[in-house]
Structure 1
C-alpha cells in the first residue's frame, strides 16, 4: 500500500520559506521608507500566490502526482499560518526593538493624508489617530498579523487549490 506524504511537513517547509520572503519584503519596505506604498501589498500577495503554488505542486509531486482540493487547501492554509507567525514576529520585533519610531512615522503620514483630503475635521482626525494608536500595541500587532496572513492565505488557497488539484481517476487506488 502506498504511504501518503505528510502535508504538514510540506506546509511547514514552504511556510517557513514564505515567511522569510515576507520578512525580506517588509525589511525592504521599512528601509526604503515605503510603508504606505501599495506596490508592496501587491508584491506580498504575489509572493504568497507563488509560494502557495510551489507548496501545492511539491505536495502533489510527492503524492504520485495527485492532490485533492482539501489537501491543497490544508497545505496552503498551514503554510500561510507558519508564514504569518514568522513575518508577524519579525514585524513586532522590528517595531519594538530595531525602530520604535516607525509607527510614529506611519501615524504622521496618515494624519497628513487625512488633512490633505479635507473631508474630516481636526477633531475627527484626532479621534481617528487616537483609536489607531490604541490598536498598535505589540501583542495586537502580532495577533492581527498572524490572523490577517492566515485569512488572506486561506482565501488564496481556495483559488490556487482549485487549479493545482489533480484527483485520482480511481479513488480506491
Structure 2
C-alpha cells in the first residue's frame, strides 16, 4: 500500500513539473520524448519490418552494416538513426530501431524498439548471445515514451516510461553526446 502511495505521489510531482518552465539550468534535468496524445488523429501505423537477421558471430561492423545503432564501449555507430527515431516519436511517425550494445567480453545485447506511430513503443530485450549472462528469453513490454534523464552521478541516459511491466528496466542507452558536452564545460 505504501509503495502505491509513493508511486502515485512521484507521478503527481512529475506531472506537476511538466507544466512549469524554468530559465535556470539544473544538474538533474529531464527532457521527454512522448507519443501523441490519445485521441489525436494519426495515420494508421505501418506494419513493422523484421529486423535484419543476426549471424554468429555478430560483430560491431556487421551490426552497423545491418543498420543497428551500435555501442562498443562508448564508440558509437549509426547514432543518426537514434536521433531520427526520437524525431519520429515526437512527430507521430512509425519507426523502429535496434540498438546493439556490446559487453566487456564482446557479446552483443539487443534492444529493439518499434513505435506504432500512435501511442505505443514495443520494446524487446535480447541477451541470448551474452556468454556470461543468463538468457532472459526475449521479454517484451509496451511503453508510452522515452525520456532523457540528465544526472551527473549516473551519467545521462535514455529510459523508457509508462511501461506495462518491469522489462523496461533492462533498457539503458547512454547519451554519449550529452556526456561529451558536459565534459567540455
Same fold (TM over 0.5): no
TM-score (norm 1): 0.28
Which of 1 and 2 has greater Rg? 1
TM-score (norm 2): 0.27
Tell which has more relative contact order, 1 or 2 (C-alpha 8 A, sep 6+). Answer: 1
